[in-house]
Amino acid sequence: MRIPTRSTPVRRLALAGLVGVTVVALAGCAAPGAGGGSDAAEQEDIAEQVTADQVADLGDITLTMWADQAEEPLMDLLVPAYEEAYPNVTVDITYKSFDDLIATVVNAANSANAPDLFQGNIGYAVDGALVKAGLVRPLDDVADVYGWNEGTGASTLAPSKWNDDATTFGDGTLYGMSPISEVQGIYYNTSKLEALGLDAPASIDDLEAALPVAAASGETPIMLGNADQYAGTHIFSDIAATTQDPADIRAWIGGDPDQSFVTDGNVEAAETMAEWADAGYFGDGYDGLGNEDAIARFADGDGVFFVGGSWNGASLNAAEFGFGALASGGVGATASPWHISSSSENAIASIAFLEMLHSPETGQWILDTGRLPVITDGVTAGDELQQQTLDALTATIDAGTQVGYYDWTTTDMLTVMGGGLQEVMAGRSSADDFVETVQAAWADGHGSE
């Protein structure tokens, strides 16, 4: 689909006394499926770091935001610090459930009262629509000025970079920034490993060697709840990142037309899932059990291993469980990115907020409130489980190959891939048919052959 021609902005952002800025015009176009439309402001491309005096020149303002309700504990710490640093700014945040946020934020960004700052969601349905319609401000100048492209966290910007016509992401112009990252891996019950005489697995091979030992003892080797379908895709991605170059997976998720899901590595990963299921390593009834119920059972002592992500750690007792990565530098992602509205009259204040989000101090707050920061320099874990998770994340970020999540690539990929894996694991479909089906859905979603 061809991007609409960019139109000339009709409003000017008046910022008195700014130094080191040049004017950049941002598009004002209609978002797909949205009525009305917001006119883009003429926003300054910064050349130096924003100062408190520049923000003060805006006068007394209210900085409006939309955020996932999961951000509230962090915002309760960050917003007072921001308002103290910029006393002329009052922050007004509207919190929404994640599902409500991603269902409404594109239309909100395209309205006459678009929030100055808001979270999107990586992939085509939300961020792709925002970029394609010119509803969000490019952030390359901000990244250059503040050094986001260097050091810790630089690779985590990739999912918010889009090409000129918003058909692929992972490279190109930067439109968003997330201060929060996630890492996948394996949780293990430390007392059960000790009783079985097993070491914590540090690879897929280690795990495969441990699974029959756990099964022979009468334990459920891997606690899995796959009724929601996404838990199975997480296990698949952990395996697939070891059977091929993780960078190829990331490129395929980002829509690279030169990539395909039909690879020997993906066939091998699907066959491994089928073999584990046939051997009983996931126990019985996993397709009828939700992921949240599975982690609750694991926390209560059912199962030896749980393949999941850093977001599951809060459900586990750090004295009883451990965590490790199964793929070095491959499996992880950033959380929902923050965007500046292209119609915001308060872009300078918004930039100052994003930079405070992207700081070591906020990184510690993120860790303290139960999640993982993209800026890991100088942060201190509160317990051994959190340290193990942080170490796994750091290794993944350092490798620069976080692959992201498969459902980012098309709006129906979770259903196609999750359902397809269920069929493979049940022995009703082959691994070859599975990868062909997934690639066909990808090609249909991207308008390719």
Question: Contact 60/88 with Cβ under 8 angstroms?
Answer: yes
Please tell me the pTM assigned to this model.
0.86
Cα distance between residue 220 and residue 38, in whole Å: 54
Cα 301 to Cα 207: distance, rounded to the nearest angstrom: 19
In a domain, 3, yes or no: no
Classify residue 125 by its DSSP letter. I
335-to-72, 157, 268, 359, 433 alpha-carbon distances in Å: 15, 11, 29, 16, 31
Q: Note whether 288 and 196 are same-domain residues.
A: yes
Using a CB cutoff of 8 Å and minimum separation of 24, what contacts does 372-379 make? 372/180, 372/181, 372/182, 372/183, 372/310, 373/179, 373/180, 373/181, 374/152, 374/153, 374/156, 374/178, 374/179, 374/180, 374/181, 374/334, 375/152, 375/153, 375/179, 376/152, 376/153, 377/151, 377/152
User: Does the pLDDT of residue 51 top 90, yes or no?
Assistant: yes
The answer to whether residues 94 and 220 belong to one domain is no
What integer pLDDT is reported at residue 28 of this predicted model? 36
* Whole-number Å distance between alpha carbons of 383 and 319: 9
Please state, in angstroms and rounded to a whole number, the distance separating the CA atoms of residues 43 and 29: 16
For residues 199 and 265, membership in a common domain is answered with yes
How far is CA 416 from its chain centroid? 20
pLDDT at 399: 77
Whole-number Cα distances in Å, 5 to 35, 117, 333: 18, 24, 32
Mean pLDDT of 420-429: 98
Q: What is the CA radius of gyration of the chain?
A: 23
Residue 328 lies in a domain: yes
pLDDT at 321: 98
Q: Is the dihedral of CA 309, 408, 331, 67 positive or negative?
A: negative
**In the predicted structure, residue 93 carries a pLDDT above the cut 60:** yes
In a domain, 1, yes or no: no
Do 83 and 112 belong together in one domain?
Answer: yes
How is the chain split among helix, strand and coil, in percent rounded to 5?
45, 15, 40
One domain for residues 435 and 422: yes
Query: pLDDT value at position 45?
Result: 92
Residue 4 pLDDT level (bands cut at 50, 70, 90): very low
pLDDT top residue among 370 and 348: 348
CA distances from 111 to 17, 92, 114, 277 (A): 29, 17, 5, 49
Asked, for residue 63, whether it belongs to a domain, the answer is yes
Residue 18: what pLDDT?
33
User: Of 291, 305, 155, 289, which is closest to residue 220 (Cα–Cα)?
Assistant: 305
Bridge partner list, 90: 62
Residues 205, 91 share a domain: no
- The count of domains in the chain is 2
pLDDT at position 3, please?
28
| Tokens linked to 258 | 């030169």
Q: Are residues 307 and 353 in the same domain?
A: no
- For residue 133, name the pLDDT band (cuts at 50, 70, 90): very high
Taking only the tens place, the pLDDT of each residue in 331-352 is: 889 999 999 999 999 999 999 9
| Residue 6, domain member (yes or no) | no
Q: Are residues 59 and 198 in the same domain?
A: no
For residue 129, name the pLDDT band (cuts at 50, 70, 90): very high
Q: How far apart are the first and last CA of the chain?
A: 15
Residue 369 exposed, middle or buried by CB count within 10 Å (0-12, 13-18, 19+): middle
Domain boundary among 378, 404, 436: 378
> Is residue 188 located within the same domain as residue 292?
yes
| Angle ∠(18,111,103) on CA atoms, nearest 5 | 115
Task: Note the pLDDT of residue 15.
Answer: 30
Strands 41-46 and 11-12: parallel
Q: What is the pLDDT of residue 26?
A: 39
CA 75, CA 85: separation in Å to the nearest integer?
15
CB atoms within 10 A of CB 152: 18
Give tens-digit pLDDT for 309-339: 999 998 999 999 999 988 766 688 999 999 9
Neighbouring CB atoms inside 10 A of 8's CB total 10
53 three-class SS: helix
CATH number at residue 359: 3.40.190.10
Are residues 365 and 400 located together in one domain of the fold? no
Assess whether 343 and 399 both reside in one domain. no
Please say whether the dihedral angle defined by the alpha carbons of residues 339, 341, 344 and 347, taken in this order, is positive or negative. positive
User: Is the Cα dihedral 158, 159, 162, 168 positive or negative?
Assistant: positive
pLDDT category at 189 given cuts 50, 70, 90 is very high
Rounded to whole angstroms, the Cα distance separating 85 from 354 reads 13
Domain region containing 412:
182-333+388-445
- The pLDDT of residue 7 is 27
The pLDDT mean for the chain works out to: 89
* pLDDT > 90 in the chain, percent: 82
Report residue 44's pLDDT band, with 50, 70 and 90 as the boundaries. Answer: confident
The answer to whether residue 2 is domain-embedded is no
- Which residues face 338 on adjacent strands? 119, 177
Q: Are residues 275 and 298 in the same domain?
A: yes
Residue 422: inside a domain: yes
In this model, does residue 8 exceed pLDDT 70? no
